[in-house]
Amino acid sequence: MNPDRATNIFERYFFSGVSPARPYLLLKGTLLLLAFDCWLLMSSHGGRYNVANFNVSHFGWLDAIQPTPTSALYVGALLLCGVVSLASFFVKPTRWALIAVTFLYTWAWASSMLDSYQHHYLLSLVLVNLCCFPLQSSKDVWRAEVQVSKKGKDVNRVIEAWGFVSLGVTCAIVYGYTAVTKLGADWRQGHALKRLTASQQWMRSLLRSFEDAGFSESTFWGLFALSAICVQLTVSLGYFLASQQDSVIKKPWFYKLVLLLGFGAAISFHAGVEGIHLEIGWFSYYMFWMAFVFFAPARFLFYLGAFLTSPAQKVQSVFSWSQRRPAKSVAVMLTVLVSVLVIGLGLALDMPGGKIAGFGSAIVLLFVFGFYFFKNEFSLIRTWALAVGTSVFLMWASILNSDVRFNFYRYTGYDLRKRGQYEEALNAYVKANKYAPPGKDRKRKEEELRRIVESRKN
């Protein structure tokens, strides 16, 4: 193929028009999920880091340059990642904030093979793509659209969003590989699928109805395995084409069919994965949101986005001060006050990494302050101070009202006990019980350990 022609195809594909609502909603939804994912799911496993000073990272070169990740460092990085992520959800995100989120999240899993979940690698790829998204506020997306529509023009305005198109390609590649790698005999004969799902009640009922219809068990598993391959290939093709739908004016019927099948296949695949209770945290929810934003019609997303962002726009119009440029002294005071608050909340978490998250958030604020102060952008300093302060407060409040600390300390206590460090295990269980939800405490373990520690002293 002529290289110019190839470049033209490449250019037309990646710089095709995309409804601005799509990248906006995908970015915001992912940042929101990521923040609570980091705080409420990932951080509770932090106790396993640097146990017995043993660690192997995902990359040899990383082992050579990084300090051995400790519980505090791992949990601190995740908490801070969540803070920057949620702050970016509240405000018009900046490129450096998205890069910081990507770096912190990626380092968190890459620093140790203890975190070897493939969906974490995929989320890092998603975040790299998000760093390349157009940076838009809700006003940029919806006010502009409303003005255009009032003049009687089409609401389906499109923008250049090559980062969004690239994310579609990333999804197409990943789903494509997951389909192709299932072509091995192990999968095709249904052995792997059987081991994964045989214990599920709904799967057993499905198998029974197949057997009642006269099919053998091996045919059932073989067909089911083959259908999983077809589903993933359909999702892959769907993602590859979905990013182009806003620039195609007259969509042919088969294009519409591929999008419809792609959406249905993506949702059913992840719903099925949820049904077999794999240890993948909230990954399915990221993918549900992604499929929804990629495949839904632009007009529908436009109205949904307008509805979802209207409370924030109303709050802004009620508080008219948010439109005014604050004085230099207000920006300074706010930065100092919020910095003290976030450090205090970080320390109050009573979890390794809380201090790092608190001081880290204060450093983020100082960085924002330094960056915008000399540009006389005091309103951005105020906006970021409020966003970071609110994010740290929500981190503290959500951890306070969840099982994170209970899980963190009981996992830690379990391991310490197994390794014969009874006194440290006792301390961990005491803390776990302090934060235990009703009826779930580990008082018996605590008492047993107390007896062991006392008998060892005697």
Partner 1 sequence: MSTRKKQILVFLAAFISLQLLAPLTYYLRDDPFDERFAWRMFSGIRLYQCSTWISEKKQTENGVEDTSVDLGPLIHHAWMGHLSRNRVAVIEALLKRRCQVEENLGVTLENQCVDTASRMKEPVTYEIDCKTGEISKTGKGV
Q: What is the footprint of partner 1 within residues 99-158 (CB under 8 A)?
A: 113-114, 116, 118, 121, 125, 128
CA–CA gap between residue 133 and residue 303 (Å, rounded): 21
Measured from the CB atom, the residue of 100 and 126 that comes closer to partner 1 is 126
CA–CA gap between residue 37 and residue 408 (Å, rounded): 15
Q: Are 53 and 305 in contact (CB under 8 A)?
A: no
181 binds partner 1 per the rule CB under 8 A:
yes
Q: What is the footprint of partner 1 within residues 367-426 (CB under 8 A)?
A: 415, 418-420
State the DSSP H helix or E strand holding residue 451, giving kind and residue range, or none if neither.
Answer: helix 443-457
Question: In a 10 Å sphere around its CB, with 0-12 CB exposed, 13-18 middle and 19+ buried, how is residue 287 labelled?
Answer: buried
52 binds partner 1 per the rule CB under 8 A:
yes
Q: Smallest distance, Å, CB 198 to partner 1? A: 11
Q: What is the footprint of partner 1 within residues 258-297 (CB under 8 A)?
A: none
| Percent helix / strand / coil, the chain, rounded to 5 | 75, 0, 25
Measured from the CB atom, the residue of 240 and 295 that comes closer to partner 1 is 240
And the tokens for 306? 């307008």
Among 66, 68, 94, 178, binds partner 1 (CB under 8 A): 178
Q: How many angstroms from the chain centroid is the CA of residue 26?
A: 11
Task: Provide the β-strand partners of residue 159.
Answer: 18
Measured from the CB atom, the residue of 14 and 289 that comes closer to partner 1 is 14
CA–CA gap between residue 288 and residue 291 (Å, rounded): 5
Stretch that binds partner 1, among 4-12, 325-333, 359-367, 440-448 (CB under 8 A): 4-12
Q: Smallest distance, Å, CB 15 to partner 1? A: 7
187 binds partner 1 per the rule CB under 8 A:
yes
Stretch that binds partner 1, among 25-33, 167-175, 212-220, 259-267 (CB under 8 A): 167-175
Q: Smallest distance, Å, CB 174 to partner 1? A: 5
Measured from the CB atom, the residue of 15 and 307 that comes closer to partner 1 is 15
202 binds partner 1 per the rule CB under 8 A:
no
Per-residue x/- track, 8-37, partner 1 (CB under 8 A): --xx--xx----------------------
Q: Smallest distance, Å, CB 435 to partner 1? A: 22
221 binds partner 1 per the rule CB under 8 A:
no
CA–CA gap between residue 138 and residue 440 (Å, rounded): 43
Q: Smallest distance, Å, CB 347 to partner 1? A: 27
Measured from the CB atom, the residue of 203 and 341 that comes closer to partner 1 is 203
Task: Provide the β-strand partners of residue 17.
Answer: 160
51 binds partner 1 per the rule CB under 8 A:
yes
Among 3, 60, 252, 439, binds partner 1 (CB under 8 A): 60
Among 36, 41, 48, 272, binds partner 1 (CB under 8 A): 48
DSSP letter for each residue of 46-72: GGGTTGGG----SSHHHHHHSPPPPHH
And the tokens for 417? 């006990």
CA–CA gap between residue 128 and residue 113 (Å, rounded): 21
Among 146, 183, 196, 312, binds partner 1 (CB under 8 A): 196
In this structure, what are the phi and psi dihedrals at residue 160, rounded to the nearest 5 degrees?
Answer: -85, 125
CA–CA gap between residue 391 and residue 34 (Å, rounded): 13
52: left (phi over 0), alpha (psi -120 to 50) or beta: left
Among 58, 251, 355, 450, binds partner 1 (CB under 8 A): 58
Short-list 23, 12, 22, CA closest to 134? 23
And the tokens for 274? 């949820």
The amino acid at residue 115 is D
What's 181's DSSP letter?
G
186 binds partner 1 per the rule CB under 8 A:
yes
CA–CA gap between residue 371 and residue 402 (Å, rounded): 36
Task: Provide the β-strand partners of residue 160.
Answer: 17
CA–CA gap between residue 289 and residue 240 (Å, rounded): 17
Measured from the CB atom, the residue of 128 and 330 that comes closer to partner 1 is 128
Task: List, in order, residues 6 or more apart from 247 with CB less than 8 Å away.
Answer: 16, 17, 18, 158
Q: Smallest distance, Å, CB 129 to partner 1? A: 9
166 binds partner 1 per the rule CB under 8 A:
yes
Measured from the CB atom, the residue of 192 and 336 that comes closer to partner 1 is 192
Q: Smallest distance, Å, CB 181 to partner 1? A: 4
Q: Smallest distance, Å, CB 458 to partner 1? A: 22
182 binds partner 1 per the rule CB under 8 A:
yes
| Number of chain residues interacting with partner 1 (CB under 8 A) | 43
Among 12, 56, 146, 324, binds partner 1 (CB under 8 A): 56
CA–CA gap between residue 175 and residue 234 (Å, rounded): 9
Return residues touching partner 1 (CB under 8 A).
7, 10-11, 14-15, 48, 51-52, 54, 56, 58, 60, 113-114, 116, 118, 121, 125, 128, 162, 166, 169-170, 173-174, 177-178, 181-182, 184, 186-187, 189, 191-196, 415, 418-420
